[in-house]
Structure 1
Amino acid sequence: MRTKRLSAILGNEMDDIECDPWVTGIETDSRKVSPGNLFICIRGYTVDGHEFAEDAVSKGASAIISEYPLELDVPNIVVADTKRTAGIVASSFYDHPSHRMRIYGVTGTNGKTTTATLTYDLFRLSGRPVGIVSTIGARYKDQTLETPNTTPEAVVLHRLLAEMADAGVTDCVVEVSSHAMMEGRVEGVHFHAAAFTNLTHDHLDYHRSMDEYARAKARLFEQVEQTNGDAIILNAEDEASTIMASFAPTRRRVMYSTHTNVPADIQVIWLDDTVRVKVNAMTIEVPVQFMGAFNAANLAAAIGLVSTSELMLRSIIANVPGLTLPKGRLERLDTEDAEIYIDYAHTPDGLEKCLSTLQADDCELVVVLSAAGDRDSTKRAEMGRVASRYADRLIVTVHDVRSENPTQIIDGLLEGIDADTPHVTFENRLDALKHAALQGLDGKRVVVVGKGHDHIERVGKQSIPFNESDILLDELKKLKGQEPAV
């Protein structure tokens, strides 16, 4: 693409006709710039891309987009908001990939990754060439790629979508966080449909109130409206669905529920080893492989999304028995030595759903409870209360402390824990996991919450490899054959 054409797309006109270099790629990280690339100056949390514009030019950048004029030897296009401009530019540069296939967005506090994965698998099991972009990475055909955020930044996202479209993918599921909506990461994406899971306490370190948080989520449905998408899929049991619907007033609504007394277009009723799926006049009971009655809602949302394609509902439901949960979601450790689960639960609501599923009268439940540093501290005491309600004993620790004092994080959790609940504390998560392995070997049911699939610990400015499954398995091997501690 020529710089002059790019400028015209953004509503700017370049007077210097002779200065019209080719743009061969787009980057927002100056370290990745190659000759001919367009560099977009993005203001981040810790760094400002404007400070690296000269570095990008020295590496061969052919043009710069910024929020104020820069004195450079290459064309400089000035815009009001580079974050949102990045999506518009990337969509055009990559030949509008979201117009070349159907994009299904998933948002909500809890269940986004599970719903997105179930949607992806329903398409995949139906034989459709499908892709997914989510917290646990991007996948399509035989490709698996890591993604740094739940929703990648706009340039990376459009690049991924273009690769998928070029590879023949017809349907792609994108997990969309509230941060992504506020940061413009899905700008320029045409959504065929979008689903809402639920709204519960989270991210109040970023959003100033639950109302602001809800409206950030609702912007996804506004985008479905603005891009003339087909439908929005809403949880009939969550009051926040009213807010979501108000942002897409003319789109077709598909409501779902998990209780027979809550009217909805799609009902998925949990029956332990099976689910009863009711869609309009059709009712089918099918077996399921995964745990958790709360996952009936995630399945219902996934069925709602896939139903907006041309696939027949009966064939969609026929693939439910082949579904499994994504990594780190009620995932049982692959060992016969102990019953240990790993789950991503990091909100009060998510924690309650996880623990209520694992609680049993015939087995003592041990919970490794933690919270992240430099993140929403207002939910910590409530998570302590929830854990105390279900656990027979607690192992209280931290994860991703970043710059916060571990003691402060643990104190926040302890504030909500009942004094009668037996608990120990560990400022080092590795020590907490070793203790958890010992409890598991002693015959207790153990669940480690907080990180799920995430294999990185964030300490200060460092990102340290930290695979909880491997750590627990190694510790069990060391302990095996020893007398369990009382």
Structure 2
Amino acid sequence: MLLSELLKDWPCTILQGSIRRTIDGITESSKRVKKNYVFVAKKGVKTDGMIFIEKAITNGAKTLVIDRDNLDRTRIPEEITVVLIPDSSLFISYASAKFSDNPAEELCIIGITGTNGKTTVSHFTGQLLKELGHKTAVIGTTGLYIDGKLTETIRNSMTTMPAEQLHPFLRKCIKQQVTHIVLEASSIGLSTNRLAHCPLTVGVFLNIGMDHYAEHGGRQPYIDAKKLLIPLADQLVMNEDDETCRAIGEELTTPPIYFSSRHIHGTQQKKVLLANQGHHNEMNARAAIGALMALGYSLRAITPHLHALRLPTGRLEKYEEAGIEVYVDYAHTPDALQAVLEALSESSKRLITVFGCGGGRDRQKRPQMGAVAAHYSSHVILTSDNPRMEDPSQIIVDILAGMAGFATPVEIFIDRHQAIQYAVTQAQPGEIVLIAGKGHEQIQQIENQTTHFCDMEEVKKSFCNRNAKK
């Protein structure tokens, strides 16, 4: 594509160089720059793309796109084109879509947002679409799936894929005869314009709980970020049981399709889910059904395929040995932890819960999660999640503040490996162990170090050690 073609519909000022040049790619990462690439020097949360301009040029960039005119152009070679635009995050969304010839316009795309349940609902929706004969891709936290098979993982485990990756992937899907896409739309992804040029056939609102307040600057900015999904979608599906989602639905000029614990789109329905556990997964199934009804399917057409629903990796993922049931789940918010513990409590078995909280974000949810764990569990083991740059001990102190007044025994193992091993060792036949917070994740972030860590792997190792000691 010619740079002039890319820029012709976008407000910009050419500060130097020519726009009559061929471009071979667009990126906001200097590491991914290749010959004849456009480098967008976007200001990120932690780093500013401006400081990587020289590296981008060394790697082959011939065009620089900036949204702040504070560049020292005496250090930029004359043959490099420099373009000033109003908003770099919007530009990279637009440019990535246009460079891939706007693939989203050729697909049926369902975008799912909500504090909890995005991954499960996206997989449920994808599974139903496959059952109904559509070649479907699911894009989200656990990776990229085509017809239920994992094809690749997403860099940095981002819930919503960056625009420069998303649109080429959509084009690749089209070449593989995929017709339907289901993707997770996170508040961060929406607020940073990753989906700004990805029109959706259906948008689904699951729930609004406590998460990412710190990144957005409070609850209302978090809600406002979620609401950015609305103008992207032709049809909306809303959880009527969630007060905030219901309020958002009432603001719409076109009524959404509602699902709740009582009905789906006005149809009374007592129970729809057959094979999965808990009220939260019942609601996740109803959300998926609502998404398909928005595409024009009747409940009668969908119902015969509900037997195919399977939970994705790291969502109430079960391992059983020696009469002990162990579940690994991604629950990392108060609402999600409560939903999972309620589901597991239905068996009335003794329940051991192992969890921590992530560092550097949402401190206010920590005591709430402590209270939830203490209320539902027979025994709580507190440990590290991804403490990042925060002191793990302080995170645990914050969690303990919510556990005051409960008689539930609490033990602390800052090392997550030790915590899981201890829980498995202490558990007796007929008991349940929940390992919460990381689910599908394969890494742990402690200070500046990122190391491999998988909860389910640790569970299996712990049983090996338990058996060896017998």
TM-score range relative to shorter protein: over 0.9
Runs of 4+ with deviation above 6 angstroms: none
Match of residue 283 from structure 1:
none
| Alignment partner of 1:257 out of 241, 246, 260 | 260
2:107 pairs with 1:101: yes
Question: Which residue number corresponds to residue 319 of structure 2?
Answer: 333
Question: Which residue of the other structure, out of 337, 349, 354, is the alignment partner of 2:335?
Answer: 349
1:325 partner letter: L
- Could you give the per-residue CA deviations for residues 405-450 of structure 1, whole angstroms, max 9, x where no partner exists? 0110000111111341111001111110111111335542110110
Deviation at residue 361 of structure 1 after TM alignment: 6.4
Counterpart in 1 of 2:221?
Answer: 212
Distance of 1:246 and 1:184 partners within structure 2:
25
Aligned amino acid, residue 253 of structure 1: P
Structure 2 residue corresponding to 1:81, chosen from 83, 87, 93: 87
SS in 1 for 2:257: strand
C-alpha deviations, 1:22-44, integer Å up to 9, x for none? 11111211111110111111212
TM-score w.r.t. length of structure 2:
0.93
1-structure distance, mates of 2:347, 2:175:
53
Aligned twin of 1:436: 423
For 1:17 and 1:447, locate their aligned partners in 2 and report how far apart those are by CA, in whole Å: 59
TM superposition shift of 1:9: 2.4
Query: What secondary structure is seen at the aligned counterpart in 2 of 1:99?
Result: helix
Task: Measure, in 2, the Cα distance between the counterparts of 1:358 and 1:437.
Answer: 17
The aligned residue for residue 170 of structure 1 is 179
Residue 399 of structure 1 deviates from its aligned partner by 0.8
Looking at structure 2, the residues matched to 423 and 441 of structure 1 have their Cα atoms a distance apart, in angstroms, of 17
The alpha-carbon deviation at position 265 of structure 1 amounts to 2.7
Match of 1:197 among 171, 196, 206: 206
Q: How many angstroms apart in 1 are the aligned matches of 2:382 and 2:16?
A: 63
Tell me, yes or no, if the aligned pair for 2:265 and 2:290 is still in contact at 8 Å: no
Q: How many angstroms does 1:470 deviate by?
A: 1.1
Tell me the residue number matched to 1:279: none
Question: What does residue 3 of structure 2 align with?
Answer: 3
Change (3 A) 1:268 1:175: farther
* Partners of 1:268 and 1:299 within 8 A in 2: no
What's the offset of the Cα at 1:462?
1.9
Contact residue 7 and residue 77 of structure 1 kept, 8 A: no
Q: Distance in 1 between matches of 2:249 and 2:32?
A: 40
Task: Give yes or no for contact 2:240–2:246 (8 Å, CA) kept in 1.
Answer: no
- The alignment partner of 1:50 has SS state of helix
Counterpart of 1:457 in structure 2 is 444
Return the match for 2:304 from 310, 318, 321: 318
2:236 paired residue number:
232
Give the residue type in structure 2 aligned to 1:240: T
**Aligned partners of 1:130 and 1:155: how far apart in 2?**
21
Deviates most, 24-33 or 356-365: 356-365
Give the number of equivalent residue pairs: 460
Q: Is there any run of 5+ residues in structure 1 with no aligned partner, and where?
A: 276-286
Structure 1 range deviating more: 200-209 or 76-85: 200-209
1:372-421: per-residue Cα shift (whole Å, max 9, x none)? 11111101101111111110111011111111001100001111113411
CA 1:447–1:16: 2 relative to 1, 3 Å:
closer
Q: State the one-letter code of the partner of 1:2.
A: L
- Aligned partner of 1:298 among 264, 284, 296: 284
Secondary structure of 1:113 counterpart: helix
Deviation at 1:243, TM superposition (A): 4.3
Distance 1:368 1:472 in 2: 12
d(CA) in 2 for partners of 1:187, 1:144 = 25
For the Cα contact (< 8 Å) 1:133–1:175, is it kept in 2? yes
| 1:256-310 Cα shifts (integer Å, max 9, x gaps) | 11126xx84355534xxxx3xxxxxxxxxxx611111221211111111112325
Q: Output the CA distance in 2 between the equivalents of 1:127 and 1:29.
A: 38
Counterpart residue type for residue 236 of structure 2: I
String of CA shifts for 1:187-241, please: whole Å, max 9, x gaps.
11111110111111222212333222211111111322xxxx1x10001111212
Mapped partners of 2:400, 2:10: distance in 1: 52
Q: For structure 1, which segment, 287-296 or 429-438, has the greater mean C-alpha deviation from structure 2 after superposition?
A: 287-296
Structure 1 position 188 matched with structure 2 position 233:
no
Q: 1:393 aligns with which of 368, 372, 379?
A: 379
How far 1:348 sits from its partner (Å)?
0.9
1:280 match? none
Partner of 1:38: 38
Percent same amino acid among aligned pairs? Answer: 29
Alpha-carbon shift at residue 5 of structure 1 (Å) = 1.4
Change (3 A) 1:246 1:62: farther
Contact 1:254 / 1:304 at 8 angstroms: preserved in 2?
yes
Name the CA distance, whole Å, in 1 between partners of 2:179 and 2:305.
19
Matched with 2:293 is 307
Unaligned ranges ≥5, structure 2 = none
- Structure 1 residue 126: Cα displacement: 1.6
C-alpha distance in 1 between matches for 2:452 and 2:86? 38
Task: Give the match's secondary structure for 1:245.
Answer: helix
SS of alignment partner, residue 270 of structure 2 = strand
Secondary structure of 2:445's match?
strand
Q: Please name the residue that 2:55 is paired with.
A: 55
User: Partner letter of residue 275 of structure 2?
Assistant: Q
Distance 1:234 1:383, change over 3 A: same
Note if contact 2:17-2:82 (Cα within 8 Å) is conserved in structure 1: no
Q: Give the counterpart letter for 1:222 in structure 2.
A: P
1:18, 1:480 → 2: CA distance? 70
1:425–1:6 CA distance, 2 compared to 1 (3 A):
same
**SS of the residue aligned with 2:45?**
coil
Mean alpha-carbon deviation: is it higher for 429-438 or for 206-215?
206-215
SS at match of 1:398: coil
The answer (yes or no) to whether the contact 1:293–1:357 under 8 Å persists in 2 is yes
> Which residue identity lines up with residue 124 of structure 1 in the other structure?
K
Report the counterpart of residue 415 of structure 1 in structure 2: 401
**SS of structure 2 residue aligned to 1:434:** helix
- When residues 455 and 334 of structure 1 are mapped into structure 2, their CA distance, relative to the original with a 3 A threshold, is farther
CA 1:25–1:446 in structure 2 vs 1: closer, same or farther (change >3 Å)? same
Matched, 1:241 2:241: no
**Aligned equivalent of 1:111, options 108, 117, 120:** 117
